[in-house]
């Protein structure tokens, strides 16, 4: 059982997942700092100095931390936008540019086999093709 556990832990996908979680935690800390330390003060300054973190509503003796909720929503939107940009750039990086296809074959009008574009006689049915133009052109 210990040997199986060791094999499970050392498999590549488990290590990749662990690295992803650690990187995600570090990335979350950066984004949270950007939101709390950079964006929220700007938003508070633009909205007459309201500090969203201090925005609390009291209902029936319970405190609803509306400011904290707004901060969480803004953080989520920023993280989602950054992930969108990252995935979009990765997809563009991996997208292979398709080269335009050079037509180097044509169809024989008699046997319908593919033959070289410059052929004057079909190698399959031996028909003469001198006055034939490719229907794909």
Task: List pLDDT tens digits, range 95-127.
Answer: 766 556 667 888 888 898 888 888 888 888 888
Phi, psi of 23 (to 5 degrees): -65, -35
Half-sphere exposure (Cβ direction) of 123: Cα atoms closer than 13 Å: 8
Taking the complete model, does pTM exceed 0.75, yes or no? Answer: no
CA distance 40 to 34: 9
Mean of the per-residue pLDDT values for the chain?
79
Both structure tokens of 119: 């052929």
Q: Is 32 exposed, middle or buried (0-12, 13-18, 19+ CB in 10 A)?
A: middle
Residue 63: strand pairing partners: 58
What phi and psi, each to the nearest 5 degrees, are found at residue 115? -135, 165
Whether the per-residue pLDDT at 35 is higher than 80: the answer is no
Cα gap 100→89, rounded to integer Å: 23
């Amino acid at each position: 059982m210990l040997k199986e556990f060791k094999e499970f832990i050392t498999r590549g996908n488990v290590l990749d997942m662990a690295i992803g979680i650690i990187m995600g935690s570090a990335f979350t800390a950066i984004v949270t700092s950007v939101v709390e330390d950079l964006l929220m003060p700007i938003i508070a300054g633009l909205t007459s100095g309201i500090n969203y973190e201090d925005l609390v509503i009291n209902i029936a003796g319970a405190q609803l931390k509306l400011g904290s909720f707004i901060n969480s929503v803004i953080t989520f939107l920023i993280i989602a936008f950054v992930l969108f940009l990252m995935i979009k750039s990765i997809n563009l990086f991996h997208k292979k540019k398709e080269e335009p296809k050079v037509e180097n074959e044509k169809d024989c009008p008699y046997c319908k086999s593919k033959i070289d574009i410059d052929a004057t006689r079909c190698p399959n049915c031996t028909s003469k093709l001198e006055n034939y133009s490719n229907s794909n052109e």
